[in-house]
C-alpha cells in the first residue's frame, strides 16, 4: 500500500514540476518567491493528505462480518452493532429459503474482513414470488384456466351474472385486476356472464313454498 502511494506521489511531483515549468515559460513569472511557494504547495499537499489517510483511515482495525442471514432486521442490526458495524436495509429479494421479512442476503458477505464502522447492506426476503395477473376480461371462461396456469395461477371463486350483451361464459370482471400482483400458486376470482337466470344463494332445492309436511 505504502509503495503504491509513494510511486503515485513521485509521478505527481514529476507532473507538477513540468506544469510549473510550463507556467514559468508561458507566463514569464518574474517572482522566484511565487515559484517557490507553488513548488512547496505541490510537494507538501500530497504528503499532508497521505499522512491524514494513513493516520485516521488505514489505521482503523478490521473485523470479520458476522452472518446475520435468517434474522429479522432489528436482531441483525443489534448483532452488527456489537461488532462495531452499521446496518442498512437495502431492499428485498425473492428467496424461498427464508420467510418474508427475514434477512436473506448481506453485502459484504459473512466472514469478510472490513474496517470498523463499515456499512453492511441487508436484503430481506420478499416471501413468495409474485406475478402480474393476466387480463381475462372478455375471454371465454373456458380459456381462463389455461391462461392462469401459464401464469402460475389458478381459477378461484366463479360467480355468474346475467348479461345479455355478452356471450354466455364471458369473463366480466376479475380479482385481482389485470396487472395487479398475485402470489405464485394463488387464485383469481371471476365474474362470468350468463344468458340464463341466476339463482341466489338463498334459493334451495328443499321443500317448495306452500307445501306442508304430512
State phi, psi for 155 to the nearest 5 degrees: -75, 130
Residue 200 inside a domain? The answer is: no
Are 72 and 101 part of one and the same domain? yes
Are 16 and 33 part of one and the same domain? yes
What is the percentage of the chain residues whose pLDDT exceeds 70?
A: 66
Mean pLDDT of 60-78: 92
Q: What is the model's pTM?
A: 0.43
Are 71 and 98 part of one and the same domain? yes
> Which of the 8 DSSP states describes residue 177?
P
Are 156 and 187 part of one and the same domain? yes
Residue 170 inside a domain? The answer is: yes
Residues 145-172 have pLDDT tens digits of 999 999 999 999 999 999 989 999 999 9
Residue 91 inside a domain? The answer is: yes
Give the structural domain span for 76: 62-125
Are 71 and 106 part of one and the same domain? yes
Q: Using CB atoms within 10 A of its CB, is residue 186 exposed (0-12), middle (13-18) or buried (19+)?
A: middle
Residue 79 inside a domain? The answer is: yes
CATH number of the domain to which 148 belongs: 3.30.10.20
- Is there a contact between 105 and 92 (Cβ–Cβ < 8 Å)? no
Residue 211 inside a domain? The answer is: no
- Is there a contact between 131 and 175 (Cβ–Cβ < 8 Å)? no
The count of domains in the chain is: 3
Q: List alpha helices for the chain, DSSP H.
A: 2-27, 32-56, 73-82, 141-150
Are 69 and 105 part of one and the same domain? yes
Give the whole-angstrom CA distance, residue 144 versus residue 174: 11
Mean pLDDT of 112-126: 92
Amino acid at each position: 500500500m505504502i509503495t503504491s502511494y509513494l510511486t503515485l506521489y513521485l509521478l505527481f511531483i514529476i507532473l507538477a514540476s513540468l506544469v510549473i515549468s510550463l507556467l514559468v515559460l508561458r507566463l514569464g513569472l518574474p517572482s522566484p518567491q511565487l515559484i517557490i511557494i507553488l513548488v512547496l504547495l505541490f510537494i507538501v499537499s500530497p504528503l499532508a493528505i497521505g499522512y491524514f489517510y494513513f493516520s485516521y483511515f488505514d489505521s482503523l482495525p478490521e473485523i470479520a462480518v458476522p452472518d446475520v442471514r435468517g434474522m429479522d432486521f432489528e436482531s441483525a442490526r443489534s448483532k452488527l452493532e456489537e461488532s462495531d458495524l452499521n446496518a442498512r436495509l437495502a431492499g428485498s429479494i425473492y428467496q424461498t429459503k427464508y420467510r418474508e421479512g427475514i434477512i436473506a442476503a448481506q453485502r459484504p458477505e459473512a466472514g469478510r474482513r472490513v474496517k470498523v464502522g463499515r456499512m453492511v447492506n441487508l436484503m430481506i426476503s420478499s416471501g413468495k414470488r409474485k406475478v402480474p395477473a393476466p387480463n381475462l376480461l372478455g375471454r371465454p371462461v373456458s380459456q381462463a384456466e389455461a391462461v392462469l396456469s401459464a401464469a402460475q395461477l389458478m381459477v378461484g371463486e366463479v360467480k355468474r351474472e346475467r348479461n345479455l350483451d355478452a356471450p354466455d361464459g364471458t369473463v366480466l370482471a376479475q380479482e385481482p385486476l389485470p396487472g395487479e400482483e398475485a402470489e405464485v400458486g394463488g387464485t383469481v376470482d371471476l365474474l362470468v356472464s350468463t344468458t340464463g337466470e341466476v339463482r341466489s344463494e338463498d334459493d334451495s332445492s328443499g321443500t317448495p313454498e306452500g307445501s306442508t309436511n304430512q
